[in-house]
Structure 1
Amino acid sequence: MPYIKTFSIGQPKKMVYGNEKEMISAIGKEKVKEAFLTKEGFKGDGVADLRFHGGPDRAVSIYPYEHYAYWKKEFHAKLADSTFGENITAGNMLEKDVHIGDIFQLGDAIIQVTQGRVPCSTISKRTNLPGLMKRMVETGYTGYLCRVLEEGMVRDDSTLQLIEKHPQAISVLYGNEVYFHRPKDVEGLRLLLSLPELADEWKEMLQKRIDKLVGVK
């Protein structure tokens, strides 16, 4: 049974990293008791770079709780709550078990998985672990993003429950494998594109890959 381990939101703010370098990022989210989830995301939540974050297809970010133990062991490092800037740190929701298009009840809201998350360098900067982002890509342990089908209040003790498994059952982990490691796999690209629920940005990017591979001008 899926469950919420940590529920966090936050606005962009200054982050100091490395040798006293500074950047503006919303990765440093903080735990909250409740927040209203809209089609654009949680009230009180925000993103710093709209090119790569936010929007209706990326309204909710989820990261599997089990990966924390994996990374702590591999990097011998302590990781703060919501290290990866996710809204929901969830148990029993691994990428291999969650499918693009799956629909979940999240408190009073209903969400749908749209894509795997594409990790950015901010994760490595925040954790001071230069190899972490690369390893997230290599393993596919990226977490994933969701759109909001029905708005509603979410609390830190809300129920998180699968209400509709997508009939094609194409896992987030498979999507990550094709996206990151099999860029010339036309069959795999087309399989992902067969999902109407896939995020629009991924659809456009995958179609461009296919067009290039098959020689469409």
Structure 2
Amino acid sequence: MEIVSLNVGLPQVIQVQGKELITGIFKSPVSSSLFVSKVQAEGDGQADLSVHGGPDKALCAYPEEHYAFWEQELGKKLEAGTFGENLTVRGLLETEVCIGDTFAIGEVVVQITQPRQPCHKLAKRLDLGTAPLQMQETGYTGYYFRVLVEGRLDKDSAVKLISKDKEGITIAYANQIKYKEKTNAEAIGRIAELPALSASWKQSFLKRLVELQA
């Protein structure tokens, strides 16, 4: 388990079909040490705080292992941070890590809260309209961390597993239920009860349960 790249970036305005769009998806690698607070890394920012950032989504992680797939899809080499992630990681795939898993990265202690939910801004970043759907279908979504202990980290900080969540709900499994097994009430309920699950995903899953029971 290791960090390949530490990436940050502030929101910027881009032009899309003649209209202005503010987005924080553009992240660039940095070599310096950064302070990480309960809501974000130093030098980082999000444009739409209703769906990005905040305590449940303070840091976004994306596995380096998926870059080869996207480079083949796009026909070009991609720089770390292309997917808007703060941490480009290796050895921490969605099929292996679980909601609630806790890690120490440098001075910082983080906990996985939910899969990353791809949106239209990623499609515009990659200039690939099908990118969000492809992320869902492949399960190559990445995921979010909440920060339990603030502190400093850099790209060379060691990643150490502190604890595995006892329920063992992987990010890959959560994606499977979210996007493909939408009527699996038992699994939806099990995920919704996870103490570490982000508030937004808990609300979404509880709403789905109500709809299934109606």
Q: TM-score, normalised by structure 1?
A: 0.94
Moved more, 152-161 or 72-81: 72-81
Match of 2:59 in 1: 60
The reply to whether residue 103 of structure 1 matches residue 116 of structure 2 is no
CA distance in 2 between counterparts of 1:204 and 1:127 reads: 30
In structure 1, the partner of 2:29 is 31
Q: Given the superposition, is the C-alpha separation of residues 78 and 16 from structure 1 closer, same or farther in structure 2, using an over 3 Å criterion?
A: farther
CA distance in 2, matches of 1:62, 1:26: 15
- Paired with 1:126 and 1:62, the residues of 2 have a C-alpha distance of 17
Please say if residues 79 and 127 of structure 1, whose CA atoms lie closer than 8 Å, have aligned partners that are also in contact.
no
Q: Structure 2 matches for 1:152-171, cutoff 5 A? A: 152-171=151-170
Q: Distance in 2 between matches of 1:73 and 1:171?
A: 26
- Give the letter aligned to residue 28 of structure 1: F
The Cα offsets for residues 128-171 of structure 1, whole Å up to 9 and x where unpaired, read as 12222210011111000010110010111111121111111110
TM-fit CA distance, 1:21? 4.7
TM-score by length of 2: 0.95
Deviant stretches of 4+, over 6 Å: none
Aligned-pair distance for 1:202? 0.8
Q: Deviations over 1:159-186 (max 9, x none)?
A: 1121111111110000011111122110
- Tell me the C-alpha RMSD between the 2 structures: 1.3
Aligned-residue identity in percent: 40
Take 2:156 and 2:149, find their aligned partners in 1: how far apart are those partners? 19
Alignment of 1:1-217 (within 5 A): 2-17=1-16, 19=17, 21-32=19-30, 33-215=32-214
Q: State how far apart, in whole Å, the 2-side matches of 1:75 and 1:36 are.
A: 34
Q: Residue 27 of structure 1 aligns to which amino acid in structure 2?
A: I
Q: Deviations over 1:70-115 (max 9, x none)?
A: 1112332332321110000000110000100000111110000000
Q: Secondary structure at the match of 1:178?
A: helix
Distance 2:81 2:40 in 1: 16
Gaps (5+ residues) in structure 1? none
Whole-angstrom distance in 2 between the partners of 1:20 and 1:159: 44
Whole-angstrom CA distance in 1 between matches of 2:15 and 2:78: 17
For 2:78 and 2:199, locate their aligned partners in 1 and report how far apart those are by CA, in whole Å. 32
Residue 214 of structure 1 and its aligned partner are, at CA, apart by: 0.9
> Which amino acid in the other structure matches residue 22 of structure 1?
E
